[in-house]
């Protein structure tokens, strides 16, 4: 189960015990998330300026574009018009508690560097939490023509432009880490990147190979779709992983922090169940949770 209480803070109404929504309401949340992610994903393609201006946030490599900010506002406006009492937590600064007990966790462009360079691995990622539990998630990957989606207890799916019906997702049934393809990502500070590079030297010799897509939400959906066997990263934000973690879990992957609890802003890993303990042991031996 993907829990985001650490991100919401004790004062957030979502942290209180709210009655769970009816099945119908939860299907409606997923339907809204799918429609909005698809609409805004299309906008990010069709309305991309010829000259895309980027500025930096936490470091010279942590880029943000005007499209990140515009997209976040569009997502909030579209959802608020349908659900005016909900809360929002967004990468580009939105933090509204609402009072319905439902919180939308938004990364308007996950993989901003890829969007800036016109590489296709970027997404509109929308997670929906009731209380502090993520109950639905959508990862729209516009430049690859696919939308990953799922809801708690109802499975994970991929809709694509090339197929009429959505395909159910099942993670790989890998059993040996040495024959596993593992995705990961890196932070934005020089100091943390140097630490993460050292961790890589202790991981790479023990797996088939590594992949670095540049977007946590895409990495998590690749685990769900069986395109990689596992994924780990240190130092994400809830908006990077909320939707993708639910989708991966609903596809049968194990998703947790390095200690078996829900994923956190320190560590997240997701993998086929058959390699989870072996991958976790390798990451703990590599001190993958010791980054600063
Ligand atoms: C990205 C994450 C990715 C990480 C990148 C970056 P952003 O999020 O999704 O996993 O490795 O460094 O943080 O900043 O593009 O929304």
Q: Residue of the nearest CA to atom 10 in ligand 1?
A: 216
The pLDDT value recorded for residue 121 is: 98
pTM equals 0.94
Residue nearest to atom 5 of ligand 1 (CA): 214
Kindly give the number of the ligand 1 atom that is closest to the alpha carbon of 109.
Answer: 16
> What is the pLDDT, as a whole number, of residue 162?
87
Q: What is the pLDDT of residue 104?
A: 97
Question: SS3 of 105, please?
Answer: strand
What is d(CA 280, CA 256) in angstroms, rounded to the nearest whole number? 10
How many angstroms is it from 113 CA to the middle of ligand 1?
A: 8
Name the DSSP class of 177. G
User: Is the minimum distance from the CB of 215 to ligand 1 under 6 angstroms?
Assistant: yes
User: What DSSP line would sit under 220-256, residue for residue?
Assistant: HHHHHHTSSSEEEEES--HHHHHHHHHHHHHTT-EEE
Local confidence pLDDT in tens for the 292 residues of the chain: 898 877 776 655 555 545 566 776 889 999 999 999 999 999 999 999 999 988 888 888 888 899 999 999 999 999 999 999 999 999 998 898 888 989 999 999 999 999 999 999 999 999 999 989 999 999 999 999 999 999 999 999 999 988 889 999 999 999 999 999 999 999 999 999 999 999 999 999 999 999 999 999 999 999 999 999 999 999 999 999 999 999 999 999 999 999 989 999 899 999 999 999 999 999 999 988 888 8
* Residue 144 · residue 134 · CB < 8 Å: no
CA of 149 to the centre of ligand 1 (A): 19
Half-sphere exposure of 2 (CA within 13 A, CB side): 35
- What the block records as the tokens of 122 is 């970027």
For ligand 1, whether the C-beta of 68 sits within 6 Å is no
Between the CA of 106 and the centroid of ligand 1 the distance, in Å, is 13
φ, ψ for residue 289, nearest 5 deg: -100, 10
CA distance 132 to 159: 27
Per-residue pLDDT, 103: 95
pLDDT at 10: 61
Ligand 1 pocket test: which of 240, 243, 248 has the largest number of ligand atoms within 8 Å of its C-beta? Answer: 240
**140 Cβ inside 6 Å of ligand 1:** no
Nearest CA to ligand 1 atom 15: 111
What is the CA 117 to chain-centroid distance, rounded? 20
Say if CB 107 and CB 4 are below 8 A apart: no
Residue 25's pLDDT is what?
Answer: 86
CA distance 190 to 61: 9
Using CA atoms, how far apart are residues 50 and 42, in angstroms rounded to an integer?
16
What's residue 19's pLDDT?
53
- Asked if 104 contacts 89 with a C-beta cutoff of 8 angstroms, the reply is yes
Q: Is 235 in the pocket of ligand 1 (CB under 6 A)?
A: no
Q: Residues 250, 144: contact at Cβ < 8 Å?
A: no
Residues belonging to the active site: 91, 107, 109-110, 112, 240
């Amino acid at each position: 189960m993907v829990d985001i209480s650490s991100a919401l803070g004790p004062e957030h109404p979502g942290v209180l015990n709210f009655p769970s929504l009816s099945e119908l309401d939860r299907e409606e949340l997923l339907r809204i998330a799918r429609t909005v992610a698809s609409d805004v994903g299309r906008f990010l393609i069709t309305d991309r300026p010829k000259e895309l201006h980027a500025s930096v946030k936490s470091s010279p490599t942590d880029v943000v574009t005007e499209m990140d900010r515009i997209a976040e506002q569009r997502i909030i406006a579209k959802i608020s018009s349908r659900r005016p009492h909900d809360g929002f937590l967004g990468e580009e600064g939105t933090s509204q508690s609402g009072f319905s007990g439902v919180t939308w966790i938004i990364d308007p462009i996950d993989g901003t560097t890829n969007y800036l360079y016109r590489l296709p691995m970027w997404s509109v990622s929308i997670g929906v939490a009731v209380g502090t539990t993520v109950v639905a998630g959508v990862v729209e990957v516009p430049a690859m023509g696919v939308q990953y989606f799922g809801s708690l207890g109802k499975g994970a799916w991929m809709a694509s432009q090339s197929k009429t019906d959505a395909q159910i997702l099942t993670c790989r049934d890998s059993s040996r880490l040495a024959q596993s393809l593992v995705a990961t990502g890196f932070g934005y500070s020089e100091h943390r990147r140097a630490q993460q590079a050292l961790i890589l030297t202790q991981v790479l010799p023990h797996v088939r190979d590594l992949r670095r897509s540049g977007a946590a939400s895409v990495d998590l959906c690749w685990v769900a779709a069986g395109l990689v066997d596992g994924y780990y990263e240190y130092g994400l934000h809830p908006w990077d992983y909320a939707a993708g973690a639910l989708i991966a879990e609903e596809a049968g992957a194990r998703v947790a922090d390095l200690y078996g609890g829900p994923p956190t802003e320190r560590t997240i890993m997701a993998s086929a169940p058959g390699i989870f303990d072996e991958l976790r042991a390798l990451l703990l031996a590599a001190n993958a949770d010791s980054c600063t």
